[in-house]
Amino acid sequence: MLTELLNIETIQIVNEVANWQDAIHIAAAPLLQQNKIEKRYIQAMIQSIEQHGPYVVLTPKVAIPHARPSEGVNELSMSLLNLQNPVQFGPDKPVFLIIILAATDHTTHLQALVDLTQVLQEPSQIDEIIGCQHPDCIVEKIKQYATKER
């Protein structure tokens, strides 16, 4: 499921961004263009982090911004922004990978999250993805790590 959601159309590689808010806007852009989310979903993700702090930084170097399905999700979707230079989500919270999660309910995205956990469980795997210079490389790494022996 993860490889269906994170593909050439939903993965971007950028050198750097001005701040974490810009990172979320850029990361979510493919989903907005494909009409899988509405603009208000991007605002909801940003407001949530502003209110609750950088809770979306789930593991070093990786943030998974998300908001409630009712806040503008049209279709289950994910996108990934790979930054060559990190953006700070908080003190001592440098982030290279921003993975937008847009769930339509509380269950349909769970398999994608299980697969994503496989991908992000090893720091070396995260570093290899960060080192990718093209979306094709990231797609291959995700396929490789998500299908590892469980």
Residue located via tokens 């909801």 = 44
Instruction: Say which of 66, 106, 109, 134 is annotated catalytic.
Output: 66
Do 61 and 130 touch, CB atoms closer than 8 A?
A: yes
Q: Identify whether 66 is a catalytic site residue.
A: yes
- Angle between helix axes 123-131 and 135-146 (nearest 10 degrees) is 160
Give the catalytic positions in this structure.
66
